[in-house]
Structure 1
Amino acid sequence: MAFVDPFRISGSGLTAERLRLDLVANNLANIDTTRTPANEPYRRRVPVFAQVLEARKEGMVGMGVRVVAIVEDQSPFKVVYDPGHPDADPRGYVRYPNVNVADEVVDMIGAARAYEANATVLETAKEMARQAIEIGRA
Structure 2
Amino acid sequence: MDLDRALTISAAGMTAQSSRLRVVAENLANQDATGTAPGAEPYRRKTVTFERHLDRATQIETVRPGRVSTAPGEFPERYEPSHPAANERGYVRTPNVDSLIEVMDMREAQRSYSANLSVLETTRSMLQRAIDSLRA
Which interval holds the TM-score relative to the shorter structure?
A: 0.7 to 0.9
Alpha-carbon distance in structure 1 between the residues aligned to 2:73 and 2:10: 32
Q: RMSD value over aligned CA atoms?
A: 1.9
Q: What runs of 5+ residues in structure 1 fail to find an aligned partner?
A: none
Residue in 2 aligned with 1:115? Answer: 113
- Write out aligned runs for 1:9-20 (5 A): 9-20=9-20
Name the amino acid aligned to 2:89.
R
Q: Does the 8 Å contact 2:33/2:95 carry over to 1?
A: yes
The runs of 4+ residues in structure 1 deviating greater than 4 Å are none
Q: Does the 8 Å contact 1:48/1:68 carry over to 2?
A: yes
Name the amino acid aligned to 1:73.
A
TM-score by length of 1: 0.86
Q: Note closer, same or farther for the CA distance 1:62–1:77 as it changes in structure 2 (3 Å cut).
A: farther
Residue in 2 aligned with 1:100? Answer: 98
Between structures 1 and 2, the one with greater strand share? 1
Q: Does the 8 Å contact 2:24/2:102 carry over to 1?
A: yes
Name the amino acid aligned to 2:67.
A
Identity of aligned residues (%): 44
Deviation of 1:63 (Å): 2.6
Q: Does the 8 Å contact 1:51/1:62 carry over to 2?
A: no
Partner SS, residue 85 of structure 2:
coil
Q: Provide the aligned length of Structure 1 versus Structure 2.
A: 131
